[in-house]
Structure 1
């Protein structure tokens, strides 16, 4: 989550904190042996940086510090840690309709006809997100109940994008997905990506909504995509 502030600001903050500690040591100890003082200052500075990194990696500490940050700055990027529940509306139903028409001697469906495609409702699937965020990283685990089996996906890269002007905060991530019981014409694993907006409502709840897309069955134009819609419940 350090990317919320930008690497330059984080390094500036750490440098300023270390300088303040060293100045405090100089005022307190009034050193005459600057070699020994330098060694002490280096140890203290290293300890400060280590404590900051370790503290930011411990969920209990990180979540409380970040909540305080959100309390002070009302438009701050929210802490994403916790459980999220919602739905995935997939274009899998469109793929299925096109395949059915292609294999039928009587049915016809032009995939380039927007009227015909709009008439096909997206396929809704219940899903759950578990996000573990810390100062250094964001891990996202998604569980989706499909038509015949459950699939799990985990993030391999995730980046928070801070709002600019009137835009909402966003989250962009890439994930790997695994199907436990795949269909004969499906893939066991595939790569996907998502870009979602983070919307904070008046009651304090946070909604995550946006698009996802995959490289699933790309060679036969079977790529799935759709809409993610989640609300944090814990």
Structure 2
């Protein structure tokens, strides 16, 4: 999620926090603004040196708490968080998403192959991780890279990921291992968020049987 935020604005915010902590520490040590001159004339610079480490530690702890836990509470504030921050700054996708994929691969009757899937998202300001599961247990998929980003051309948010699938007992015409990727549009529809997009794989590409398809997911918790 760190990648989504405007870097210049975020840098200004972090600098402001550091300066505020340093100022509060300085004012506290000098017993108010009136003691600044006397403070500097005595052993002020030595005290400042000793304050640097505590201020840095406080800043790191503050940033970690904000980026890991506090931000989600802010994002749940009616309208400010749930609407403005979620739709304009960065959506909170934490949770379990369920839905289905519809593949270009067809069954013996010529119908598109459908599969129920589940997506689990764990996100903070510093990390973004997803896990992909299918209900049929035929294959195991591991997401090797994932990210959420904003398309500044139209302001839309997207979730993209690359995955690796393993099949322990593939049928004769299938591969035991293949790779794929997906790009999902994060859609805000009324009071809910849907993930809608496409995926593609290199499954059996040597035989011209590589597959693609659509994905439609909704939050289940």
Contact 1:88–1:124 at 8 Å: present in 2 too?
yes
Give yes or no for the alignment of 1:168 onto 2:179.
Answer: no
- The count of aligned residue pairs is 206
Q: Does 1:89 align with 2:76?
A: no
1:34-59 deviations in Å (ceiling 9; x for gaps) = 2321331332123212332255335x
CA distance in 1: counterparts of 2:83 and 2:213, whole angstroms: 36
User: Taking structure 1 as reference, are residues 171 and 123 closer, same or farther at Cα in structure 2, changes over 3 Å only?
Assistant: same
- In structure 2, how many angstroms separate the alpha carbons of the residues matched to 1:230 and 1:41? 48
What is the TM-score with the length of structure 2 in the denominator? 0.80
The answer for unaligned runs of 5 or more in structure 1 is 98-119
Matched residue SS, 2:139: strand
* Counterparts of residues 113-128 of structure 1 (less than 5 Å): 121-128=111-118
Instruction: Map residues 121-200 of structure 1 onto 2, 5 A cutoff.
Output: 121-146=111-136, 149-164=137-152, 166-200=154-188
Relative distance call for 1:39 and 1:186 in structure 2 (3 A) is farther
* Aligned partner of 2:46 among 35, 38, 49: 35
Give the corresponding residue for 2:15. Answer: 15
Q: Deviations over 1:93-114 (max 9, x none)?
A: 1xx67xxxxxxxxxxxxxxxxx
Whole-angstrom CA distance in 1 between matches of 2:55 and 2:83: 29
User: Is contact 1:22-1:45 (8 Å) kept?
Assistant: no
- For structure 2, the 5+ residue unaligned runs are 31-38
Q: Name the structure where strand makes up a greater proportion of residues.
A: 2
Structure 1 contact 90–225 (Cα < 8 Å) conserved: yes
Q: Distance in 2 between matches of 1:164 and 1:43?
A: 39
From the superposition, tell whether residues 35 and 186 of structure 1 become closer, same or farther in structure 2 (CA, over 3 Å). farther
